[in-house]
Chain A
Amino acid sequence: MSSSARRVLPGFGLSLGFTLAYLSLIVLIPLSAVFIKAAGLTYQEFLDAVTDPRVVASYKLSFGASLLAAAINAVFGLILAWGLVRYTFPGKKIVDALIDLPFALPTAVAGISLTALYAKNGWLGQILEPLGVKIAFGPAGVLVALIFIGLPFIVRTVQPILEDLDAEFEEAAASLGANRWQTFARVVFPTLLPALLTGFALAFARAVGEYGSVIFIAGNIPFVSEITPLMIITKLEQYDYRGATAVASVMLVVSFALLLIINVLQAWTSKRQGRTT
């Protein structure tokens, strides 16, 4: 029996047709423009644009700061998720709800607010600057902004796994004589690892493309604190559409590679979950 003969519900052609048309018009065709336009460049033009020293400096900052921010968030995100799942404390519901703030708060708002906090006369800046720690208008500012936008990715991927984790694993470990630390390191942490890596990859992917929250606090000094998305904007403002397209195609390839990695990690997470529960 063919699948269409078993089909009772109506609307397959309409819904799938609309889905594919809308997806193509809004997403696929415009995205393909980057690659088609980039393919129109000569090899030398493309190479010059993507290996321009100022652009290369921006890759180093974007990838370095994104990695570091995702790593810091992995540590503190795990700690926060643990606190939210395992303990009761006053104000917990509010903390839990506000974890998603970076998803809901417009990036430009986050950007100017972080800048005000860490500038020389800001609440945190006036404490840190006398200590010789300069955050705003430099690479450290980029890191702070990327920590802000990345935190919920870790908490929200680890939290549900931690909630679903059956107490019996820890009971078994405890009854076999393991102490709390051994139980965490050998039993709980390996279960959380796929989710933690997924959250890390999600936070990293978001950080690499982030623009709004970074540009206010970065100071945007060439070779020092320019991120890669800003290089695209800079090239556009100079009417260098070819250069902008070349750099954008590099960013898109990186995004697609990260998307692939994230899909593999998520498949691993759900496989792990299927086995342990």
Chain B
Amino acid sequence: MSAVTQLNPHSGFASRFERNIATRDPRWVKFLVLGLGLTFFAVFLLLPLVAVFVEALRKGWSTYFAALVEPDAAAAIRLTLLAAAIAVPLNLVFGIAAAWAIAKFDFPGKQLLITLIDLPFSVSPVVAGLIYVLVFGAQGWFGPWLSEHDIRIIFAVPGIVLATIFVTFPFIARELIPLMQSQGRDEEEAAITLGASGWQAFWRVTLPNIKWALLYGVILCNARAMGEFGAVSVVSGHIRGETNTMPLHVEILYNEYQFAAAFAVASLLALLALVTLAIKTYIEWQAGRVSLQEQLR
């Protein structure tokens, strides 16, 4: 499942379509299209977003902040940050390694490898959690050995980290692979020929070329890592204050009918989503500017 969240440095100049008589739609078509499209957008996307904040503040700011500093909520926030702090750097190193191997070298089975990297996106989050239960759970392959050595992976923090790594696995790699493939290998080869070491070529030549796509992948990876629900839910065991991430804490509060508190924690995650979209838009604008400059040169 590629080509959806990929960095898209298109900058639309819509007015060119409206000035050209061959591509201009009648005014009533424009109003109909915008009316239908924006109504759909408002009802299905905007309203749910607004509702999160309205519900969160329904009982006032003091209830709102009380819900966020309460020990279980604080523990959930810490665990979410921890899981993301482990999963994102690991997938970053993987993304760079995979993109380097795929873009800079030729080897058989490359297309298959690219497809396999995208695999976690097409697996249901619930199945993503289940696979680690089957490997590390009490009934799983390593279950007896792990319990003998008193190591807990499922219903504990390692399982949550593993599930988070799985669901965010392709994010950074899939941003870097097409970009580095299109950039080719000439610049790095020139650097090596001029006496640079491999690392120098990477830090001074490759990295500046891929920095926006890298950052783009990292923020999308991070948003998903902090927000994952289904996969983490299967492996967590829902132990309050211990194995609850923020989304799981939201679920518990909601099921206990503590709606204001549930939406308060949810509003933090919604803020994270908005910040992610803002950074994403900024990067697209930057990347669009860079590609425009390159076209002008």
Contacts and interface: CB of A to CB of B under 8 A. Distances in A.
A92 B30 CA distance: 14
A239 to B, nearest CB: 8
B133 A236 contact: yes
A109 B247 contact: yes
Interface residues of B, number: 114
A123 B281 CA distance: 30
A245 B131 CA distance: 9
A74 interface: no
Interface string A186-210: 0000000000001000100110111
A209 B1 contact: no
Contacts, number: 329
Interface in A48-95: 76, 79-80, 82-89, 92-93, 95
Interface stretch (B15-23, B66-74, B144-152, B289-297): B15-23
A148 B52 CA distance: 15
- Interface size class on chain A is 35 or more
Nearest to B39: A76
A140 interface: no
The 8 closest A-B pairs by CB, nearest first: A106-B227, A209-B124, A212-B229, A211-B230, A10-B198, A104-B273, A30-B131, A171-B22
A79 B36 contact: yes
Interface of A: 3, 7-12, 14-16, 18-20, 22-23, 26-31, 33-34, 37, 76, 79-80, 82-89, 92-93, 95-110, 112-114, 116-117, 122-124, 144, 147-148, 151-153, 156-157, 159-160, 163-164, 167, 170-171, 173-175, 180, 183, 198, 202, 205-206, 208-212, 216, 229-230, 232-233, 236, 241, 244-245, 248, 251-252, 255-256, 258-259, 262-263, 266
B134 A30 contact: yes
B185 A9 contact: yes
A33 to B, nearest CB: 4
Contacts of A27: 116, 119-120, 166, 169
B92 to A, nearest CB: 12
B12 A163 contact: yes
Nearest to A80: B37
B52 A109 contact: yes
A245 B273 contact: no
A23 B273 CA distance: 28
Contact of B116 (A23, A106, A157, A164): A23
A107 B51 contact: no
